[in-house]
Copies of this chain bind each other. A is one copy, B any other.
Amino acid sequence: MTVARPTTSARSDARRNRGRLVVAARELFESAGVDVPAREVARQAGVGIGTLYRHFPTRDDLVDAVLEGAFEELIAVAEQALAAEDPWEGFTSFIEEALVLHARNRGLKDVVELQAHGLRRARAMRRRLRPLVAELVARAQEDGSLRPDFAPQDIPLLFWASDRVIELAGEVAPEIWRRQLGFVLDGLRTSAATPVAPVPLTYEQLRLVGRNKRGGTA
């Protein structure tokens, strides 16, 4: 049984330290992923390790607090894409802009990829995103530009793939993922379609992916 913990305290030092922890964690998560050692976050925030655990009893609590902003950006990107006049343009710009965020924020990538990280907010974000993505796909398919055998469940696969390219080559060639994505998007046009393995992942299968951590890379 976990006792409810107010996110804001009566004491000014506590509030200040909490803020410092969030700032430090945000910086470190962005550049090094959500797996940075807790001691590192505490050190960068200039507080003791005990203070970190006092404010965030679980790693996921910290992740949730830190990535809220990034989630909002992601959803904003999807909403903007839905507002595009051209459905194909909307579809591709969502993927591209989302990947720009991924490229800038390693922690976001970690959380989006695996189910293993994050808590309520991460899950809420996924729930809010799903219908937007489904609509982007549907719109582009009705338009005739996106191949009809593409499924919304294929979107995560695109992200996994490009995220891997970002992760491996990001430091050497930060924009090379655009090239790889370009090839993929060319294959998603109706005009390019050729029969592929016909069964996409089910949502249930997607739910199971990455349950047991290990983000792959760095």
Which A residues form the contact surface with B (CB < 8 A)? 113, 150, 154, 157-158, 160-165, 167-169, 172-173, 175-176, 178-180, 182-189, 191-201, 205, 208-210, 213-218
Kindly name the residue among A157, A175, A196 whose own CB sees the greatest number of chain B CB atoms within 10 A: A157
Distance in angstroms between the alpha carbons of A217 and B150 in the assembled complex = 26
Contacts of A164 in B (CB 8 A): 160-161, 163-164, 216
Q: Establish whether residues A157 and B167, one from each chain, have CB atoms under 8 Å apart when the complex forms.
A: no
Q: Give the residues in chain B near A196, CB-CB below 8 Å.
A: 178-179, 182-183, 186
- The A interface, classified by DSSP as helix, strand, loop or mixed, is helix
Instruction: Tell me which residues across on chain B come within 8 A of A158, comparing CB atoms.
Output: 180
What B residues does A198 contact at CB under 8 A?
Answer: 179
- Beyond contacts A157-B169, A160-B165, A213-B218: 16 other A-B pairs, Cβ-Cβ < 8 A, are A113-B168, A160-B161, A163-B164, A167-B216, A168-B210, A172-B205, A175-B197, A185-B194, A186-B186, A186-B187, A186-B192, A186-B193, A186-B196, A214-B217, A216-B216, A216-B218
How many angstroms from the CA of A215 to the CA of B169 in the assembled complex? 11
Task: Assess the B173–A205 pair: CB atoms within 8 A.
Answer: yes
Sample (8) of A-B pairs whose CB atoms are under 8 Å apart: A154-B179, A160-B161, A168-B209, A168-B210, A169-B209, A176-B200, A176-B201, A185-B187
**Residues of B contacting A180 in the complex (Cβ-Cβ under 8 angstroms):** 154, 157-158, 161
Nearest Cβ on chain B to A102's Cβ, whole angstroms: 13
Q: When the two chains form the complex, which single residue of B176, B200, B218 contacts A197, counting CB atoms closer than 8 Å? A: B176
